[in-house]
Amino acid sequence: MMMMLMKDDEQMVIDVVSEYIDKMPLANTPEVFGLHPNAEIGYYTSAAKEMWSHLTDLQPQTGHTA
């Protein structure tokens, strides 16, 4: 009987933790990390600049100069 009670308690803890996790937001917004919402703007601006830099580096290079 004691063993069954322990299993029920463990299952209850698992259920509570699972419900808590299910309620968490799926997107990692700045608020999740305690940041101001505008922090996301800076991150995306920086990421876009870096992406464009890499894309221009991938363009074919020619020996011809104008």
* Residues ≥6 apart with Cβ < 8 Å to 45: none
The predicted pLDDT at position 1 comes to: 45
Which tens digit of pLDDT belongs to each residue from 13-48? 999 999 998 988 788 888 878 888 888 898 899 999
pLDDT confidence tier of residue 59, bands split at 50, 70 and 90: confident
The predicted pLDDT at position 46 comes to: 93
Helix, strand, coil shares, percent, the chain, to 5 = 70, 0, 30
Q: In the chain, what are the domain boundaries?
A: 26-54
Residues 13-31 as b/e (b if ≥16 CB within 10 A, e otherwise) read: eeeeeeeeeeeeeeeeeee
pLDDT confidence tier of residue 54, bands split at 50, 70 and 90: very high
